Each structure stands twice: as C-alpha cells, then as structure tokens.
Structure 1
Amino acid sequence: MYTQEEAKQLRKQFWILFGKRCKLVPELQDGNKKWVLYDTKITGLDLKFEVDRQSAKVIIEVNHRNEKKRLEIFEKLQKYKPILENGFEDGLEWDFLYVRESGEEVCRVFVEQKGFDIHRQNQWPDIYNFLIDNMLWLESNFMDIRDVLKEEL
C-alpha cells in the first residue's frame, strides 16, 4: 500500500512515462501534432484520459456549466453515435449523468477497460496501449463530426 505522497508520485511518474510513450506513436510524430484533449474548439466538451485503481478510460466529456447546454451537446453527440462508435467493436458507453468525485455533474461517452490498476507498474505498458489505441480512434471519429457539431451548436 502506498502513502498518499507515494501514490501522488506514482501517478506523476505514470503520466510522465505516458508522454514519453506517446512520442513513439507514428500518428503523433508528424510535426508538433498532439492529442486534441481540451482543444476541441467546442466550449464545454473535452477529450480525456482517466486511469485509477480499477480501470482505464478514454472519454469525451461534456462539462458545460449550463445544464441545458450540456444536455444539448450530449444529444447532438448521440445524433452522431454511429460515427463516434466506428471502430469500437463493443461500441461506447453513454452516460448523460456522471457525477465526478467533486460532485460536479457531467455527461460522458467513453470506452473503459476494467482490471487495470495504476498502482501496478507491470500493467503500465498495457494501459498505455489501451489509452493510445482508443484515443486515436475516438479522436479521429470526433474530428469527423467536429465542424458539423460546432455549426449545430
């Protein structure tokens, strides 16, 4: 078991090594290409990685402060569900009411791999592969609809 400080350092090391691993991804080696993440060009919509003691997730998160706007964005995403789920054998999880640890309500569309534990360093290569492979798909699918989505919102 790790102390709180040790767990914090472990998480920091995980993400540092993840950044180094991403530099080896051919799709990310073209110039200064980086993950879209918070630069979606749509207010209140982000792409995210999340890893904890139970699983790893690659997420589209709708976190607009205005609930009506948040649900509107989520409904628009649902309209493009076939495009967003392209390449995901089992589809994506759609959660219109996810409550973060902070109590903030958001909407999420995600793919999850259970059984991963960030504290198990021997799992890190598999976690990195899961995160990279799935974010490449999710980001590509999102970019296919981003401009249309922006116009509709």
Structure 2
Amino acid sequence: MYTQEEAKQLRKDFWILFGKRCKIVPELQEKGKKWMLYDTKITGLDLKFEVDRRAARVMIELNHRNEGKRLDLFEKLQSYKAILEDGFEDGLIWDFLFVRETGKEVCRIYVEQEGFDIHRQKQWPDIYNFFIENMLRLETNFLDIRDILKEQL
C-alpha cells in the first residue's frame, strides 16, 4: 500500500512517462502536438484520459456549467453516434449523468478497459498503448463532426 504522498508521486511519474511515450508515436509527431484534449474549439467539451485502481478510460467529457447546454450537446453528439463509434469494436459507453468525486455533474462518452491499475507499474506500457490507440481514434472521429457541431451551437 502506498502513502498518500507516494501515490501522488506515482501518478506524477505515470503521466511523465506517458508524455515521453507519446513523443515516439509517429501519428503524434505528424500532428506537431500531442493531443487535442481541452483545445476542442467547443465550450464545455473536452477529451480526456483517466486511470485509477480498476480501469483506464479515454473519453469525451461534457462539463458545461449550464445543465441544459450540457444535455443539449450530449443529444447532438448522440445524433452522430455512428461516426463517433466508428472503429470501436464494442462501441462507446454513453453516460449522460456522471458525478465526479468533487460532486460536479458531467456527461461522458468513453471507452474503458477494466483490470488496469495505476499502482501496477508493469501495466503502464499496456495502459499507454490503450490510451494512444483509443484517443487517436476518438480524436479522428470527433474531428469528423466538430465543424458541424460548432455550426449547430
């Protein structure tokens, strides 16, 4: 078991190594930057990585403060479900009400791999591969609809 400080350092090391791993991904080198993440050009819509003690996730998170706008954007994304899920063998998980640890309500559209544990450093290469493969796909699919979404908002 890790102390709180050790767990914090472990998470920091995980993300530092992930950044180094991303530097050698050819698709990312071509883009000139790593990931879109918060630079989606749509207010309240972010792409995110998440890993904890039981799973890893790659997601679109809708976190607009205004619940109505957040849910409206979720519905608009649902109308493009086929495009967003292209290449995801089992589709994506669509969660219109996810409550973060902070109590904030958000919507999430994500792919998840259970069985990963950030505390198991031997799993880190597999987690990194899961992140890279799925975020490249999710970003590509999102970019196919981004301009249409911007026009509708």
Matched with 1:145 is 145
SS state at 1:30 partner: helix
Q: TM-score, normalised by structure 2?
A: 0.99
Number of residue equivalences: 153
State the alpha-carbon separation in 1 of the partners of residues 34 and 17 from structure 2.
16
1:49 Cα deviation after fit:
0.1
Q: Which runs of 5+ in 1 are unaligned?
A: none
State the alpha-carbon separation in 1 of the partners of residues 10 and 101 from structure 2.
20
Q: Which runs of 5+ in 2 are unaligned?
A: none
Question: Deviations for 1:36-83, whole angstroms, at most 9, x for unmatched residues?
Answer: 000000000000000000000001000000000000000000000000
State the alpha-carbon separation in 2 of the partners of residues 75 and 150 from structure 1.
14
State the alpha-carbon separation in 2 of the partners of residues 66 and 141 from structure 1.
25
Matched with 1:10 is 10
Q: Give the share of equivalent positions with the same residue, in percent.
A: 79
1:31 Cα deviation after fit:
5.8
1:149 Cα deviation after fit:
0.5
Which one-letter code corresponds to 1:54 in the other structure?
Answer: R
Matched with 2:69 is 69
Question: Deviations for 1:15-35, whole angstroms, at most 9, x for unmatched residues?
Answer: 000000001111111262220
State the alpha-carbon separation in 1 of the partners of residues 31 and 45 from structure 2.
25
State the alpha-carbon separation in 2 of the partners of residues 94 and 31 from structure 1.
28
Name which of structure 1's ranges 24-33 and 63-72 shifts more when overlaid on structure 2: 24-33
SS state at 1:29 partner: helix
SS state at 2:113 partner: strand
Matched with 1:29 is 29
